[in-house]
Amino acid sequence: MASRILLFLLFILTSLFTGYGFRRLHRRLPLTAELNIVALRQGIQHSILLFAVPTVSMGSIWILDLGRGGLGALPVIGIIHTLAGGVFAVLIGKIMGLNRSRIGALFCCGFFSNLGSLGGLAVFLLFGEERYAFVLLYKLFIEVMFYGIGFPVAKSFSPQPEHFSFSFFGILRRVFSDYFIVAALTAMVAGFVLNLAGIPRPTFYSTLNSILIPANAFFMLFAIGLGLHFGRMKYYIREALATMGIKFLLSPLVVFLTAFLLGLNVRDDLAILQVVLVLSVMPPAYTATVPPSLYDLDLDMANSCWFLSTLATALVMPLLALVLPLLG
């Protein structure tokens, strides 16, 4: 267990700093001197979200044991996890006396969690593909919440806030206008249909997913590394520590309490609870830096909190190596 967690941490650092190093050095290389880094970063992210992630999602849902107890609790826990992070961030931001721009940025860091690339990779490395589908169920409604709740709330903290509503059709319109979400949901529906139809999954799919899951995470982190800038992080240590307190302490406590109340503590198989624990301590998603950029919030703060919290997983993950074996 400890060796796999160390591998996870090395994977994160290697992926990020490979991207960062490439951005710094690419102009000295003969084949990449004229490369547009912004276009490269966006191209990598779009390709992964449109093609690679849906392929993995469909294959994982295809072989999921739908009769397994406790699966229905996963989407509920994911929803509560996301909402709790946002609420804690706003409350702590007000207690710290932050201005609206910084409270909005802190909200983004608390609300958006890296359940996909980092959470999925961690579960895959620790437990294998058979539990990767648990991640998909956990985040089943998360993308909907990101665009239907997270972005509008973040916008309400901008210098020019606009009224927003949580109307059903308004949320649907925001969600289904994003083709990344449409691709992900389509793949999951296809996986459920194939599963329920009893069609055997091709044997090559296991090998394919074992390649795509770490490859997705590497290239997503590489793309993030292409855009890293370290200049102003030292000015946001206090806010970064607040983000870590939310992501690594307060939100996990709420998640675990919810899991126990939903009965995961008495299931015959506690494998689901192990996955929930791993996902509960994921740092902010890179998506947390998007609303600050769009809505004139404190982008430097959001970038700093995201990066420093991601690095702080180096302290959190070894603790998981001690706790996870206690859960079965």
Q: Which region among 11-15, 161-165, 167-171, 279-283 has the lowest average model confidence (pLDDT)? A: 161-165
Is the predicted pLDDT of residue 283 greater than 60, yes or no?
A: yes
Backbone angle region of 112, left / alpha / beta, with phi > 0 → left and psi within -120 to 50 → alpha: beta
pLDDT of 59-111, one tens digit each?
999 998 887 778 889 999 999 999 999 999 999 999 999 999 999 999 999 99
pLDDT at 96: 97
| For residue 175, pLDDT beyond 70 | no
CATH number of the 2-323 domain: 1.20.1530.20
Report how far apart, in Å, the C-alpha atoms of 193 and of each of 25, 186, 200 are: 47, 11, 12
**Block residue for tokens 């860091």:** 109
Query: Quick check: pTM over 0.75?
Result: yes
pLDDT, mean over the chain? 87
Please choose, from the candidates 214, 74, 100, the residue with its C-alpha nearest in 3D space to the C-alpha of residue 157. 100
Top mean pLDDT of 67-71, 165-169, 282-286 is at 282-286
Per-residue pLDDT at 116: 86
Share of the chain above pLDDT 70, in %: 93
Nearest CA-CA partner of 310 in 276, 280, 283: 283
Q: Each residue of 3-33: pLDDT tens digit?
A: 888 888 889 889 989 998 998 888 787 777 7
What is the pLDDT, as a whole number, of residue 280?
96
User: What's residue 245's pLDDT?
Assistant: 97
Report pLDDT for 174: 67
User: pLDDT: is 177 or 246 the higher one?
Assistant: 246
pLDDT tier, 267 (very low <50, low <70, confident <90, very high otherwise): low
Residues 198 and 200: their CA atoms lie apart, in Å, by 6
Tokens of 266: 């008495």
Helix ranges (DSSP H) in the chain = 2-25, 37-47, 53-62, 73-95, 100-111, 117-127, 132-138, 142-145, 151-155, 168-176, 179-196, 204-226, 237-245, 251-261, 271-280, 290-295, 299-323
Burial annotation 116-136 (CB, 10 A radius, 16+ → b, else e)? bbbbbbbbbbbbebebbbbbb
Q: Model confidence at 221, in pLDDT bands (50, 70, 90)?
A: confident
Q: Averaging pLDDT over each range in 42-46, 57-61, 139-143, 223-227, which range is the top one?
A: 57-61
Look at residue 105 in the predicted model and tell me its pLDDT: 95
| pLDDT (0 to 100) of residue 266 | 59
CA angle 75, 179, 42 (to 5 degrees): 105
User: What DSSP string runs through 120-177?
Assistant: HHHHHHHH-GGGHHHHHHHTTTHHHHIIIIIHHHHHTTSSS-------HHHHHHHHHT
| Domain boundaries defined on the chain | 2-323
Residue 112 pLDDT: 95
Residue-level pLDDT at 164: 56
Task: Tell me what the mean pLDDT of segment 195-209 comes to.
Answer: 94
What digits encode the pLDDT tens for the residues 289-319?
888 887 889 988 998 999 999 989 878 888 8
Distance of alpha carbon 203 from alpha carbon 208, whole angstroms: 9
Cβ contacts of residue 289 below 8 Å, gap of 6+? Answer: 108, 299, 302, 303, 306
